[in-house]
Amino acid sequence: MFAFLQAAVILVISLAAFIASIFAVVHAARTPDPAFRAAGKQNKALWLIIMLVAALIAFVSLPWPLGNGGGTVGLLGLIALAAVIFYLVDVKPKVSGYSGGSRGPRSNNSGTW
């Protein structure tokens, strides 16, 4: 009974870590590099690599029904989870508020022809 409950908790935590890491990868990929520099948070390439490695470790760490790992309770799984949590709590809020000048050929001029 307790073994099943423990396995279910590890599965839920591992799935949450994997989904959060995929979300962090997508967010880092869609955020422009100047946003990271303006927030003083290294550069986009470094954060993208860190989040990709964390997502790979989270994927490999998925427990038995979904993978061969033992869940995020392993050392690498915990390090990956810590990196994802740090990104989502510290980096993401600071780079999300970035508005960097012109975003293309469109202009917001409200003048007449």
| Greater pLDDT, 100 or 78 | 78
What is the rounded average pLDDT for all residues in the chain?
82
Q: pLDDT band for position 105 (50/70/90)?
A: very low
pLDDT, residue 112, reads 63
Domain spans of the chain? 10-95
Structure tokens that stand for 15 in this block? 């799935």
Query: Between the CA of residue 90 and those of 6, 83, 86, 101, what are the distances in Å?
Result: 30, 10, 6, 24
The enclosing H or E element of 33 equals helix 33-38
pLDDT, residue 51, reads 96
How does pLDDT run across 43-81, given as a tens digit for each residue?
A: 999 999 999 999 999 888 887 666 666 666 678 888 889
Q: What is the distance between the alpha carbons of residues 109 and 47, in angstroms, rounded to a whole number?
A: 35
Q: What is the pTM of this model?
A: 0.76
